[in-house]
């Protein structure tokens, strides 16, 4: 086995991850760290420009309150999340994100993200809370802004890419996180990051459940397959209290390509019907009173909408189709008496249909092209995907975190008073999280995750200023962690020659085989 160099990095704030919440944390930390003379280290197992769930881009921003213009209130959004999650939400966290998210969206536009606008200059809404964007380069723009913030603040040698942080460094006697350890995925280097506060923002967990795409299609999922559960693992290993692990997200998406359905339902006003042409949202309406009051409220919770469709499939009425051809025809219908205007509108709608996928799920565009599907002529099948552990969409799994002091209920506040009341700190001292890592605060999506990262960074900096003591880590502890992390390589080298196929061996199991056994 090659000799791994040990690289030790001492910092004040450690941010692990490179997705939307991590970028939000980096952007916010740049200001407060510079102001207070603190050091920041950011570690991403990939490259920040295309890291995280937004790597491929998005066609919409799903959380925008439009609070300043009085279109919606913060309380409106809290009620919406409560309704969609059927009562399972930390309303203090949802409220806190909602009051900050618009500022993140306005920053996105300032940084160069193209947001659709109408003739009056207002954002074009897909739904009540969603606004349309040309978002293929969304993540690149956000990452660039985070990097610029750090560089313009005068920080150097702060970004460590292609470094996979695996384990937290813990002082279990004092319930405190002291940083993290991991390895380079490109070089023979073992990294030790010692920090006064750590933000774990490494995304959610995919492939816990078997995906629909198997065999040659393995790796195609709705949520990115590199979201390997690192945040949950890190916080659980640190001893942090977790919440809502049973609230997993099962999205309904275009079959095989996992293309988004939001634009079709909300912007194009499409229906979904079963193989008999029945609209399950109508024919199975009688199921909804069983789930009152949420089943009778508006909007209908996403899981109930999905459940009605799944009932049709289980009753042998599948598959379910998105009626794209019907939706496009309906939108173009008012131009039917003007052939030139009708043709122009059809071309416009066709372009928007394809761009929806090209902005965020290119594989779905390839599937349509490969099967010669024209959405204005033919319906496409949609299906429920496998469950995902995420805290940012319609799932709620993640760590139980401290809320904002001004709106957090006293019963929650009491839990943190012994260790410190710092926004988005877990039940472990000095360990913070955001995005998919923070539980019970669903429907933050990309913009809310960015805002939540900013919130966590501000809380972490406040913690450091109140507890500005360099972490003391025993070298023997680090040596043991190094041996544990590198052990699979040593084991493979020792036993690989006992079989002719590296995937079959009595002494070890490779990660892919372990995943299959889940």
Beta strand pairing status for 197-200 and 13-16?
A: parallel
* Structure tokens belonging to residue 109: 């536009």
Place of tokens 């109140």: 466
- Which tokens go with 320? 């379910």
Instruction: Output the pTM of the full model.
Output: 0.96
How far apart CA 225 and CA 217 sit, in angstroms, is 12
Q: To which residue do tokens 């139980």 refer?
A: 400
Q: In whole angstroms, give the CA distance from residue 192 to residue 11.
A: 11
Question: 186 with 162: CB under 8 angstroms?
Answer: yes
Cα atoms in the Cβ-side hemisphere of radius 13 Å centred on 415: 16
Q: Which tokens hold the place of 384?
A: 């429920």
Q: Is 426 helix (H, G, I), strand (E, B) or coil?
A: coil
DSSP 217-282: GTT--SS-TT-BSHHHHHHHHTT--EE-TT--B--EEETTT----HIIIIIS---EE-TTS--HHH
Angle at 297 between CA 291 and CA 300, to 5 degrees: 80
End-to-end alpha carbon distance in the chain: 29
- Nearest alpha-carbon partner for 462 in 13, 150, 159, 11: 13
Please count the residues of the chain. 518
Write down the pLDDT at residue 517.
Answer: 85
CATH value of 252-384 in 3.90.700.10, 1.10.357.140, 3.10.290.10, 3.40.50.12280 = 3.90.700.10
User: What is the C-alpha separation between 163 and 180, in angstroms, rounded?
Assistant: 11
Active site members? 62, 126, 222, 253, 356, 393, 446
At 215 the pLDDT is 83
pLDDT at res. 2: 87
pLDDT tens track of the chain, all 518 residues? 889 999 999 999 999 999 999 999 999 999 999 999 999 999 999 999 999 999 999 999 999 999 999 999 999 999 999 999 999 999 999 999 999 999 999 999 999 999 999 999 999 999 999 999 999 999 999 999 999 999 999 999 999 999 999 999 999 999 999 999 999 999 999 999 999 999 999 999 999 998 888 887 888 889 988 899 999 999 999 999 999 999 999 999 999 999 999 889 988 999 999 999 999 999 999 999 999 999 999 999 999 999 999 999 999 999 999 999 999 999 999 898 999 999 999 999 999 999 989 999 998 999 999 999 999 999 999 999 999 999 999 999 999 999 999 999 999 999 999 999 999 999 999 999 999 999 999 999 999 999 999 999 999 999 999 999 999 999 999 999 999 999 999 999 999 999 999 889 999 999 888 888 88
Residue 249 has a pLDDT of 94
- DSSP annotation of 299 reads S
Q: What pLDDT sits at residue 516?
A: 86
Instruction: Measure the CA–CA gap between 315 and 302, rounded to whole angstroms.
Output: 20
Angle at 343 between CA 267 and CA 370, to 5 degrees: 70
- Taking alpha carbons only, the member of 28, 55, 93 closest to residue 444 is 93
When the candidates are 2.60.40.1930, 3.40.190.10, 3.50.50.60, 1.10.1740.10, the CATH number that belongs to 5-58+77-107+137-247+388-466 is: 3.50.50.60
* Domain parsing of the chain, residue ranges: 5-58+77-107+137-247+388-466, 252-384, 486-517
User: Given CA atoms 402, 408, 412, 413 in this order, what sign does their dihedral have?
Assistant: positive
- DSSP per-residue letters across 348-388: HHHHHHHHHHHTT-HHHHHHHHHTT--TTT--EEEEE---B
Structure tokens given for 346: 């059809």
């Amino acid at each position: 086995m090659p000799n791994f160099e040990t690289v030790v990095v001492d910092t004040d704030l450690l941010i692990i991850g490179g997705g939307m919440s991590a970028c939000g944390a980096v952007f916010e930390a740049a200001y407060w760290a510079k102001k207070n003379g603190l050091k920041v280290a950011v570690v991403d197992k990939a490259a920040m420009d295309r890291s995280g769930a937004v790597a491929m881009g998005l066609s919409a921003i799903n959380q925008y309150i439009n609070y300043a213009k009085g279109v919606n209130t913060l309380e409106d959004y809290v009620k919406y999340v409560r309704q969609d999650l059927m009562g399972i939400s930390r309303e203090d966290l949802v409220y806190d994100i909602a009051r900050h998210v618009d500022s993140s969206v306005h920053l996105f536009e300032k940084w160069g993200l193209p947001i659709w606008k109408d003739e009056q200059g207002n954002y074009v809404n897909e739904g009540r809370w969603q606004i349309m964007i040309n978002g293929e380069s969304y993540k690149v723009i956000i990452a660039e802004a985070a990097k610029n913030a750090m560089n313009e603040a005068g920080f150097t040698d702060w970004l460590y890419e292609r470094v996979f942080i695996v384990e937290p460094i813990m002082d279990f006697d004092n319930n405190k996180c002291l940083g993290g350890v991991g390895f380079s995925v490109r070089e023979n280097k073992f990294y030790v990051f010692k920090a006064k506060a750590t933000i774990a923002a490494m995304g959610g967990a995919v492939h816990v459940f078997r995906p629909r795409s198997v065999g040659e299609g393995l790796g195609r999922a709705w949520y990115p397959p590199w979201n390997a559960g690192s945040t949950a693992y890190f916080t659980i290993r640190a001893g942090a209290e977790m919440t809502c692990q049973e609230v997993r997200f099962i999205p309904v998406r275009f079959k095989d390509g996992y293309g988004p359905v939001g634009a079709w339902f909300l912007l194009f006003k499409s229906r979904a019907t079963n193989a008999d042409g029945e609209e399950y949202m109508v024919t199975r309406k009688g199921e909804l009173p069983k789930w009152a009051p949420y089943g009778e409220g508006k909007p209908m919770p996403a899981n109930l909408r999905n459940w009605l469709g799944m009932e049709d499939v289980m009753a042998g009425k599948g598959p379910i189709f998105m009626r794209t051809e019907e939706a496009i025809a309906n939108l173009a219908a008012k131009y039917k008496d003007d052939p030139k205007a009708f043709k122009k509108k059809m071309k416009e709608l066709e372009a928007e249909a394809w761009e929806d996928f090209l902005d965020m799920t290119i594989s779905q565009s390839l599937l349509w092209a490969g099967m010669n599907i024209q959405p204005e002529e033919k319906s496409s099948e949609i299906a429920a995907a496998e469950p995902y552990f995420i805290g940012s969409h319609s799932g709620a799994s993640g760590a139980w975190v401290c809320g904002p002091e001004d709106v957090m209920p006293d019963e929650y506040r009491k839990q943190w008073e012994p260790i410190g009341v710092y926004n988005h700190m877990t039940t472990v001292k000095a360990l913070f999280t955001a995005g998919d890592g923070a539980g019970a605060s669903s429907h933050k999506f990309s913009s809310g995750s960015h805002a939540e990262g900013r919130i966590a960074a501000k809380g972490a900096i406040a913690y450091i200023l109140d507890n500005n003591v360099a972490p003391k880590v025993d070298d023997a502890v680090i040596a043991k962690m190094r041996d544990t992390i590198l052990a699979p390589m040593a084991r493979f080298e020792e036993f690989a020659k006992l079989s002719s196929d590296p995937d079959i061996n009595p002494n070890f199991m490779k990660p892919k085989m372990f995943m299959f056994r889940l």
